[in-house]
Amino acid sequence: MQNDLFAGNAGPQAGREQESLPDLAQRLRRELTQHGYNYYTLDAPTIPDAEYDKLFQQLQALEAQYPELKTTDSPTLRVGGMILPEFSQVQHAVAMLSLNNGFEDDDVIAFDRRAREGLEIIDQDIEYAIDLKFDGLAINLRYVNGVFTQAATRGDGYTGEDVTENIRTIRSLPLRLRCEKPPAILDVRGEVLMFKADFDKLNQRQRDLGAKEFANPRNAAAGSLRQLDSKITAQRSLRFFAYGIGLLEDADLPTSHRALLDWYQSMGIPTCEEKAVVNGAPALLDFYRRIQEKRAQLPYEIDGVVYKVNRFDQQATLGFVSRAPRFAIAHKFPAEEALTTVLDIEVQVGRTGAITPVARLAPVFVGGVTVTNATLHNEEEIQRKDVRVGDTVIVRRAGDVIPEVVASVLEKRPEQTSVFVLPKQCPICGSDIVKLEDEAIARCSGGWIKCAAQRKGGLFHFASRKALNIEGLGEQLIEQLVDKNVVTTAADFYKLGLMALAELDRMAEKSAQNVLDALEASKSTTLPRFIYALGIRHVGESTAKDLALTFADMEALMAATEEQLLQVNDVGPVVAQSIIRFFADPFNVELVRQLIASGIHWPVIEKMDLSTAIFAGKTLVLTGTLPTLSREQAGALIEKNGGKVAGSVSKKTSYVVAGEDAGSKLLKARELGVTVLSEEELLALCNAQ
């Protein structure tokens, strides 16, 4: 068969005269599969997105006109198919059993002892494979003669639900295995999950539509996987990582768990890079602690790690007990979510006047600590979540992040609760609480002079490590100084005497002298630190550095026009107006002059035009250990050449500079297609300027 629509095609197939439609369809599938593998698995695209879209649309049109050409491994199936009336049941050929859990070091040590006893190697270390325990959904994928044919949830371990059409939409998952002689049947076990960035985008879309948001990435992944309309699933960016095997026919099983994952990777099946093979229990615990430290920086949620005896022959010897294997254990992290009760809702006032509702909670142990307070962010957020006093709520704490209320459990809500209403006056100074049209945050209108909370917050910011770095001048001491009317502005710090400090609570003459010495030392600073210390809204460390490099002195900055400010790297209209408003206030100008008169000084900065620098307008991220440069040196070099150094990788990142032991930031860069530089390449770009 032949048709004018597909005859004499330009582009990749130009020159292939009289190519039959079946051959054209096969070639398009092959090319699209290869390009998809390059993009989603290798993070190394070889054609522009627009060119991929053209090939995809061509195959789509071909299959629509000639349905008999469509195959079960066609890339067009990833956009979703027909709406299902319900999920059918699937019997697992090999049961999907759960793992026993360990929560303490002693649990892991006991697991290792039992494994050595079972293998009768008491005096030897066992080789273990370690994987992450993803916070997603366990799935069994079946490949028949190398072609993906079915996917089923874990269910009760023996029978699951058929979610084949939804799993097809996962673009990193091969619909045909990349190998010459695939197994007759291969059941791949793994986890379906949603990355944090994709979860944030999904919830933003839900907000835009006025729809209910998902509480966490796992719920979002579960909700996406159980859509009867796979077109909806296709829009939600699910991912898959393989970690095990079920039925295998007409192929040799690899000798170990690690060899299995390597085999999967060779066939194009995604596995997680964060894995290891170690010997003995101490090495297991060492990996656990290292991954726990970097947990918050990972692009996906995990709730622990999984230890497995690596060799399959040793796994077979150990066998199973009840519904769990003897050769594996999940070492769980402390829970990051828990249920508790809202005792009260109060508001806090920040240094910029921001009013933040805070839930006072019945004490609950979550994320390794006892939590009694959790942020509710702002008035819009508390109304959207409809959190009320008396509610049972889900509280979440990840790493060092401030605990937050995720959602209320409505079925546990007591009768006669009332909706929270933000007060109209500041609880500290009584000034009106106002809200600008372009902001979600309400603010106290009192300012530093009227509002003690803003005064304390601003003074603590001034003394903080990244600002003037005044050691010993902490929150408790500043609170006393403000409450006793000893200090009103930052300039008053430099008027303090020994006796005024020594008479304060928990102070003595020696500690008072230490604070005075720290104040004297803080007078020698840098212009970026000084600008940052002033606490101008929207001016963080990076912007303060850009302002210092552009204007070189405070008088020039205070007199800057909006047009001049907009020439500064990363300064837009909002930041420019904030700076202008700050220096339009005579109080702030006088404060700057008093601080300089007190002796605060900094090295002269050579005024630079960074608009034409090699990294002008670009954001770079540093990760790993560089061969010769320290993080500070590399950052200074980037800023000197017009760039901005950020702490995390996003779509706005221009380059990632990676050294030895680069971790999740490098993984995220590859995922997003961000250019990765070595130290040598960074230096070469800077020297070429």
- Phi/psi class of residue 345: alpha, beta or left (left: φ > 0; alpha: ψ in -120 to 50)? beta
Closest CA to 307 of 270, 282, 336, 335: 282
Tell me the C-alpha distance between 652 and 631, whole Å.
Answer: 21
Whether 530 contacts 592, CB under 8 Å = no
Alpha-carbon Rg of the chain, whole angstroms? 30
Q: Which amino acid is at 489?
A: T
Q: Is 396 annotated as a binding residue?
A: no
Tell me the C-alpha distance between 91 and 556, whole Å.
Answer: 74
Closest CA to 101 of 336, 396, 333: 333
Q: Is 658 annotated as a binding residue?
A: no
**Burial classification of residue 627, based on how many CB atoms lie within 10 Å of its CB (0-12 exposed, 13-18 middle, 19 or more buried):** exposed
Write down the residue that tokens 């000893």 correspond to.
Answer: 486
What are φ and ψ of residue 295, in 5° steps? -55, -45
Write down the residue that tokens 């030392």 correspond to.
Answer: 521
Q: Is 637 annotated as a binding residue?
A: no
Q: Is 52 annotated as a binding residue?
A: yes
**Burial classification of residue 567, based on how many CB atoms lie within 10 Å of its CB (0-12 exposed, 13-18 middle, 19 or more buried):** middle
Write down the residue that tokens 């609760």 correspond to.
Answer: 417
CA distances from 69 to 72, 79, 146, 490 (A): 10, 17, 19, 76
DSSP string, 298-333: SSS-EEEEEEEESBHHHHHHH-EETTEETTEEEEEP
> Can you give the three-state secondary structure of 525-590, one letter per residue?
CCHHHHHHHCCCCCCCHHHHHHHHHHHCCHHHHHCCCHHHHCCCCCCCHHHHHHHHHHHHCHHHHH
CA distances from 259 to 248, 263, 310 (A): 15, 6, 9
Q: Is 98 annotated as a binding residue?
A: yes
Residue 9 three-state SS: coil
What is the sign of the dihedral through the CA atoms of 48, 40, 621 and 197? positive
Q: Is 661 annotated as a binding residue?
A: no
DSSP 8-state secondary structure symbol assigned to residue 252: P
Helices (H) and strands (E) in the chain, counts: 25, 24
Closest CA to 444 of 460, 424, 459: 424
Point out which residues pair with 333 in neighbouring strands.
Answer: none
Q: Is 444 annotated as a binding residue?
A: no
Active site residue 212: no
Q: Is 332 annotated as a binding residue?
A: yes
Point out which residues pair with 152 in neighbouring strands.
Answer: 140, 162
CA distances from 412 to 73, 405, 440 (A): 47, 15, 29
Express the helix, strand and coil content of the chain in percent, nearest 5 each.
40, 20, 40
Q: Is 426 annotated as a binding residue?
A: yes
> Can you give the three-state secondary structure of 480-540, one letter per residue?
HHHHCCCCCCHHHHHHCCHHHHHCCCCCCHHHHHHHHHHHHHHCECCHHHHHHHCCCCCCC
Maximum CA extent, the chain = 99
Q: Is 50 annotated as a binding residue?
A: yes
Sheet of strand 238-249: strand arrangement: 147-153, 137-144, 185-194, 238-249
Sheet of strand 101-102: strand arrangement: 101-102, 328-332, 302-309, 127-134, 276-279
Point out which residues pair with 682 in neighbouring strands.
Answer: none
Q: Which of the residues 54, 70, 133, 668 is marked catalytic? A: 133
Q: Is 275 annotated as a binding residue?
A: no
Q: Which residues are annotated as a binding site for NAD(+)?
A: 49-53, 98-99, 131, 154, 191, 308, 332
Active-site amino acid positions: 133
Q: Which residues are annotated as a binding site for Zn(2+)?
A: 426, 429, 451
